[in-house]
Amino acid sequence: MGDVLRRRRPGGSVATLRRHPRAGGRLHRPHRRLDLRQGCLGPRASVLRGARQQLSRAPRERMRRVFLGVDCGTQSTKVVLRDAGTGAVVAVGRAPHELIERDDGTREQDPAWWVDALRAAVRDALRAERFEIGGIGVSGQQHGLVCLDASDRPVRPAKLWNDTTTAVESAALTRTLGGEKRVLELTGNLPLPGYTAPKIAWLAAHEPDAYARTLRMCLPHDYLNLWLTGEFVTESGDASGTAYFDVRGRRYSNVVLAAMDDRRDWTRTLPPVVASLSVVGRL
């Protein structure tokens, strides 16, 4: 018998799924870029197709300039548009996420669901008007572990902040580093089960093949930035919740990383840390 999964639907109901023990990996869609300049999402998903046809026959009007904010949460992705001049909220959009649950404390999501939700939420926000997008800001749920292969495709579903399967790895990492006092000296945070470091240790212990295929690791909002821009970066706010980031020195802790795996090249695995308000890339 395979694993029994409970996948929580957006409305709150739970569907029970059974995964065959020899089932292969999840098939992910090819990456598609978010094309806001054309008022659409992806190469074929037109937003307001009928309205665009009408606009093409009407005199061209100056579009309102707005900034687009994205928050990829646990339950949904939210989008807000704010007027570039006044800061007033112009439009909002939202799209729900599914959740994979198991009785052992597993809480996971497929990163492809975040991309789908982002596309749907932006469509929702743009449903009544066309805008000039002056910039995009992305935030997201912390602590989640996204594992990417050599083509930057997810190796497995992302383990989320509320996944508690890593309690054993959390305690073991604390002991390896010399106890809680020493850990706090190194990073300023303990490697709690919900943090990212124990998730990496869990993956190496429980899914060594997936761990070996993982070339790069990042957080959920880093993944969306990568999908949008092709740039692999993070910022100190999100990195502070990994338990392998020194919050005082604002850099990765080589001591913690070596304790997790002293053979892995962490400079290639983890994204460079940039300033929170820096421009990551352009569409």
Listed by start position, the domains of the chain span 1-17+62-140, 141-272
The residue assigned the tokens 């996948």 is 7
Identify the weakest region by mean pLDDT among 33-47, 76-90, 151-165. 33-47
Decide: 100 and 144 in contact? Cβ < 8 Å.
Answer: no
| In the chain, % of residues over pLDDT 70 | 78
Q: What Rg, from alpha-carbon coordinates, does the chain have?
A: 20
Give domain 141-272's CATH superfamily: ATPase, nucleotide binding domain (3.30.420.40)
The pLDDT value recorded for residue 1 is 43
* Angle made by CA atoms 49, 54, 57, in degrees to the nearest 5: 130
Confidence (pLDDT) at 61 = 64
The fourth-level CATH superfamily of domain 1-17+62-140 is ATPase, nucleotide binding domain (3.30.420.40)
pTM of the model: 0.78
With contact defined as beta carbons under 8 Å apart, do 252 and 245 qualify?
A: yes
How would residue 277 be classed by pLDDT, with cut points 50, 70 and 90? confident
CA max distance for the chain: 70
Q: Would 1-17+62-140 and 141-272 be classified into the same CATH topology?
A: yes
